[in-house]
Amino acid sequence: MSMISGDKSSTEILSLKSSDNEIFEVKKEVVLESITLRGMVEEDEFSDTLIPLPNVEGKILSKIIHYCQKHTEARAKVNGSEGAADSKEIKDFDSEFINVDDKTLLGIILAANYLNIKDLLDLGCQKIADNIKEKSVEDVRKTFNIKNDFTPEEEKAIREENLWAFD
């Protein structure tokens, strides 16, 4: 993602309003981490006013802004090159950042998808995927509190199909 050059973007502040009416003042360059918001902002509709985000509650939005701020800063340090994303500092930040309770994690994933922040969505989904890897089916159900809606016959049929259909 390239940074828009020029003074206007580096000092311009935008306001984001969460679903529970909390208002966050954020630098434009940080807001642009979200492809969704970038689309809104570049159409110049919201340059002076509030951007309402009815899908995202304050607690989650605050975390997301923190993520975007950190990543924008890290990228600026390496002058916009792709190397920033790989540095140890950012990796440590990311793993600490995503180490949250279940409700927050799911909230972050939903919001990252809605706001189209690819790296954050990948981070959240990877965290969940790590909790699925190498587990048995029953353990996965327990972990994610999912009810088994297959009948024993249906389960047997799928196991059989999986024997016949491989890669």
Partner 1 sequence: MANREYSGEISGLCINEVLTDDELQSILSKLPNDKDKEVFGMVCKRWLHLQSTERRKVCARAGPLMLRKMATRFTRLVELDLSQSPSRSFYPGVTDSDLAVIASGFRGLQILSLRYCKGVTDAGMVALGSGLSCLWSLDVSYCRKLTDTGLKAIAEGCGSLRRLHLVGCKYITDGLLAVLSKNCHNLEELGLEGCSNITDSGLTRLVDGCHHIKVLDINNCSNIEDIGVTSVSKACSSLRTLKLLDCYKVGDDSILSLAQCCKNLENLVIGGCRNISNESIKSLASAYCCSLKNLRMDWCLNLSDSSLSCILSQCKNLEALDIGCCEEVSDTAFQVLGSLGQDMSLKVLKINNCPKITVLGISMILEYCKKLEYLDVRSCPHVTKVGCEQVGLKFPECCHVNFTGRLFELDMVI
Residues that bind partner 1 (CB under 8 A): 96, 99-103, 105-106, 109-110, 113, 121-122, 125-129, 131-137, 140-150, 155, 157-162, 164-167
Q: With respect to partner 1, which residue has the nearer C-beta, 36 or 143?
A: 143
Instruction: Please state the closest distance from residue 94 (CB atom) to partner 1, in A.
Output: 13
User: Where is 3: in which H helix or E strand?
Assistant: none
Q: With respect to partner 1, which residue has the nearer C-beta, 42 or 92?
A: 92
DSSP string covering 31-49: HTTSHHHHHHHHTTSSSSS
Q: With respect to partner 1, which residue has the nearer C-beta, 3 or 110?
A: 110
Instruction: Please state the closest distance from residue 117 (CB atom) to partner 1, in A.
Output: 12
β-pairing, 13-17 with 50-52? parallel
Could you give the 3-state DSSP secondary structure of residue 51?
A: strand
Q: With respect to partner 1, which residue has the nearer C-beta, 12 or 119?
A: 119
Instruction: Please state the closest distance from residue 150 (CB atom) to partner 1, in A.
Output: 7
DSSP state of 2: P
Instruction: Please state the closest distance from residue 29 (CB atom) to partner 1, in A.
Output: 26
Q: With respect to partner 1, which residue has the nearer C-beta, 31 or 123?
A: 123
> Nearest to residue 82, comparing CAs of 51, 55, 119?
119
In this structure, the number of other CB atoms found within 10 A of the CB of residue 26 comes to: 18
User: Where is 14: in which H helix or E strand?
Assistant: strand 13-17
Instruction: Please state the closest distance from residue 58 (CB atom) to partner 1, in A.
Output: 18
Could you give the 3-state DSSP secondary structure of residue 126?
A: helix
